[in-house]
Amino acid sequence: MNSIRIMTYNVSDCCGGDNEENPGRILDVIGHAAPDVVALQGLTTGKMEDQLQFLATQLGMKAYRSPHPTGNAFLSYYPLKGLQQVELGGAGCSLRADLHTDNRCIHLFNVRLSTGRELRREQITHLLGSDLLGNVNLVCPLLVLGDFGDFFWSPSNLALTMALRKARRPLFNGTYPARLPLVPRDRAYLRGNLRILESSIDRTIMARQAATHLPLTLTIQIVDLRHYLTLEKIPRARRMEAAPG
């Protein structure tokens, strides 16, 4: 895998500024960007299965969501494994998936945080804790992306940038509200040997009408030349065994 295009998109219940629910407009926006993987937030929970399946079928992608959905999901042309949803408190949540291709792995964290300052601070503390991003078993490069819920800079942002690298974004990086995008709420953070080759925000009239957020699309490359073998690919004769005594 030389590079992969990953989009983060809060689809706002598939409703635009006109309050019309229209998944077809979301479909057009995603299709225009042609991503390999889409991290979705803001799907209507009660209608999530229908909305998600519509997008997956029309795009020819596979849908991934938790059995207990809270609005986050993935669409992907690549196989995703290890799906894990964790509630962060309030309306915040994190949906993890591991992208495997060419014997390499990227840990993906699709997050949605609340707008309240104190609640958001608690959610970020949970996100950076030992159960999630602080887990010592996360040995592959990771990408954290989604709607970070902030309108203004806060000390919680500093905690994120100290633990992770902020992914490069366009000079004009506002994604919310879509009709007059002034706030860079939708963004991504990195850890490990990942490189951002390209970063773009769809500011077309179509994207401004489809939802209340604009999508951010990143083209990323794994620059770590090591391969990560899954257990079933390790030859039996070379598996380690416990020595007697």
Which fold does the domain 4-238 belong to in CATH?
Answer: Deoxyribonuclease I; Chain A (3.60.10)
Q: Contact, 64 vs 76, CB < 8 A? A: yes
Question: What is the pLDDT averaged over residues 34-59?
Answer: 91
Structure tokens at 232: 């079933």
Q: Contact, 97 vs 140, CB < 8 A? A: no
Question: What is the pLDDT averaged over residues 19-27?
Answer: 94
Q: Check residue 226 and give its pLDDT.
A: 56
CA 158 distance to own-chain centroid: 20
- For the chain, give every domain's residue range: 4-238
Instruction: Considering only residues 209 and 240, tell me which one the structure prediction assigns the higher pLDDT.
Output: 209
Question: What is the pLDDT averaged over residues 56-82?
Answer: 93
CA distance 95 to 109: 6
Task: Report angle CA 230, 235, 241 to the nearest 5 degrees.
Answer: 90
Cβ atoms within 10 Å of 90's Cβ, excluding its own: 16
CA distance 231 to 66: 24
CA distance 204 to 145: 22
pLDDT in tens, 118-139: 999 999 999 999 999 999 999 9
CA distance 149 to 130: 22
CA distance 72 to 66: 8
The DSSP element (H or E) to which 144 belongs, if any, is strand 142-147
pLDDT in tens, 71-109: 899 999 999 999 999 999 988 999 999 998 877 899 999
Q: Check residue 69 and give its pLDDT.
A: 74
pTM of this prediction?
0.90
Q: Check residue 148 and give its pLDDT.
A: 97
Q: Check residue 231 and give its pLDDT.
A: 47
Strand order in the sheet with 194-201: 62-64, 73-76, 37-41, 4-10, 216-222, 194-201
Q: Check residue 87 and give its pLDDT.
A: 94
Cβ atoms within 10 Å of 225's Cβ, excluding its own: 7
- pLDDT class of 194 with cuts at 50, 70, 90: very high
Q: Check residue 1 and give its pLDDT.
A: 57
CA distance 195 to 222: 6
